[in-house]
Amino acid sequence: MPYLFTSESVSEGHPDKVADQISDALIDHFLAFDPNSKVACETLVTTGQVVLAGEVNTNTYLDVQTIARDVIMKIGYTKADYMFEANSCGVISAIHEQSADINQGVDRKSDDGFEAKANAQGAGDQGMMFGYATVETDNYMPLALDLSHKILQELADVRRENKRIKYLRPDAKAQVTIEYSDSNKPQRIDTIVVSTQHDDFAEDEEMLAKIKSDIINYVIPRVKKKLKPSLKKLFNDQIQYHINPTGKFVIGGPHGDTGLTGRKIIVDTYGGKGAHGGGAFSGKDPSKVDRSAAYATRHIAKNLVAAGVASEVLVQVSYAIGVAKPCGIFVDTYGTAKVKGADGKKMKDGEIAKIVERIFDMRPYAIEQRLKLRTPIYSETAAYGHMGREPQTVTKVFENAGQKVEQEVELFTWEKLDYIDQVKQAFGL
């Protein structure tokens, strides 16, 4: 029996994403000026106001007001009409020193050497983290979420071009529903929902008709044009479109809805596919396994699928606070495993997990080193998903209180397919 599956995304101007981007900009600046910083910072945004709170253990001082305003400016909140504007909003900081009780389990002293450091650095918290990958798309992401991200990225590009469509404001959401076959293959797009903030530029009926026409006839074709032929075929004349279905959407962003760091964890990961351990990413340095281990499990899942171990993989890892070795690693291939054991029979998921444990060192320090996480790479993750992005090397420049740091960094290292050969060798592929 065919079934429907839906995922959503939110734009960089969504209030929760504004909060995420400010928190991750702070992380990047702390790491740029002190790579050993331990940070957990939360952001709240509302009408004309930004509140920063959290715990920090660092040797640097940041001008957090300027950093927050720069993020808001870049997103596009630059007009007083938005009731939340980069230069005029208030920024209150309640960031304080990290608890010594927490830090003692993470920052134990160790002798030099990888093994000593890896065994000494415990997990920043207890909990479980999940990584997921599927052959459904070229970036091994669930299709509904991938399309939702692409729609909003295109909408943001159109907004910044300010040529064909000039009324767009930063806040937006998109949702895509895919019809799947009994064999879990995408068959067609059933529904597309787009809600975009906009200027009040005409009478309601005329305005809504114009927005609907522009999204369906201009934005969606731009998205479709960038897709490979097999995905273009999923678009047809029977798609149900709901464009700003509640009516006009002039009041939006932090003025329309309070935003908080870490409130879009499903958007950030797999759109409801696979599983989620509950921990948010933004605002946390890589000693927090909520973030680093989630990246590491995505790295594992993607390399397993790309190597041909299975068509779909979910990987779970769990930790005790202050303890380096994981409590356990779990693998679920949803019955799609393609590898055989020594007895010639299809390998059980438990057997796969044991091999994964041998290939990938999941101690927090080892994850940080393998994925190069103690560098300022996090601002780019804070909108349009932390997973499924393109790995790249860039040069970033950070300025703070008269200091300037220029650093070459690798973005989205957990998306690299750099363990395929090791995985194939371990599984005899």
pLDDT at 298: 98
> How does residue 258 score in pLDDT terms, banded at 50, 70 and 90?
very high
Same domain flag for 311 and 363: yes
3-state secondary structure of 102: helix
**What is the residue-averaged pLDDT of the chain?**
94
3-state secondary structure of 263: coil
> How does residue 389 score in pLDDT terms, banded at 50, 70 and 90?
very high
* Listed range (58-62, 85-89, 363-367, 384-388) with the worst mean pLDDT: 58-62
pLDDT at 147: 98
In a domain, 378, yes or no: yes
Same domain flag for 297 and 315: yes
CA distance 168 to 284: 32
Same domain flag for 420 and 334: yes
Same domain flag for 176 and 290: no
pLDDT at 103: 52
In a domain, 86, yes or no: no
Same domain flag for 213 and 312: no
pLDDT at 105 over 80: no
Q: What is the DSSP string of 291-343?
A: HHHHHHHHHHHHHHHHHTSBSEEEEEEEE-BT-SS-SEEEEE-TT-B--B-TT
Binding-site residues from annotation? 14, 16, 42, 55, 98, 171-173, 248-249, 257, 263-264, 280, 284, 288
CA distance 37 to 62: 12
Same domain flag for 302 and 184: no
- Bigger pLDDT: 120 vs 248: 248
pLDDT at 96: 87
pLDDT at 107: 60
Give the total number of structural domains in the chain: 2
pLDDT at 111: 59
In a domain, 175, yes or no: yes
* Listed range (123-127, 315-319, 330-334) with the worst mean pLDDT: 123-127
Binding-site residues from annotation for Mg(2+)? 16
pLDDT at 57: 93
In a domain, 185, yes or no: yes
Same domain flag for 323 and 410: yes
Same domain flag for 317 and 376: yes
CA distance 388 to 318: 22
CATH number at residue 358: 3.30.300.10
Q: Which domain holds residue 232?
A: 3-11+143-252
pLDDT at 113: 80
Mean pLDDT calculated for residue range 224-228: 96
Q: What is the DSSP string of 140-167?
A: S--HHHHHHHHHHHHHHHHHHH-SS---
pLDDT at 124: 80
Show which of 226, 252, 278 is a domain's final residue: 252
Same domain flag for 230 and 370: no
Same domain flag for 313 and 380: yes
- Bigger pLDDT: 272 vs 102: 272
pLDDT at 35: 95
pLDDT at 108 over 70: no
pLDDT at 98: 64
pLDDT at 99 over 70: no
pLDDT in tens, 265-305: 999 999 999 999 999 999 999 999 999 999 999 999 999 99
In a domain, 199, yes or no: yes
Binding-site residues from annotation for L-methionine? 55, 98, 257, 288
Show which of 204, 234, 252 is a domain's final residue: 252
Binding-site residues from annotation for ATP? 14, 171-173, 248-249, 257, 263-264, 280, 284
> How does residue 249 score in pLDDT terms, banded at 50, 70 and 90?
very high
pLDDT at 253: 95
In a domain, 422, yes or no: yes
In a domain, 188, yes or no: yes
Same domain flag for 158 and 239: yes
Binding-site residues from annotation for K(+)? 42
CA distance 231 to 150: 13
- Percentage of the chain beyond pLDDT 70 is 97
Show which of 234, 252, 270 is a domain's final residue: 252
pLDDT at 110: 57
pLDDT at 7: 98
In a domain, 89, yes or no: no
Q: Is 237 left (phi over 0), alpha (psi -120 to 50) or beta?
A: alpha
Helices and strands (H and E) in the chain: how many: 14, 13
Structure-block tokens of residue 245: 């279905």
pLDDT at 343: 83
Same domain flag for 415 and 314: yes
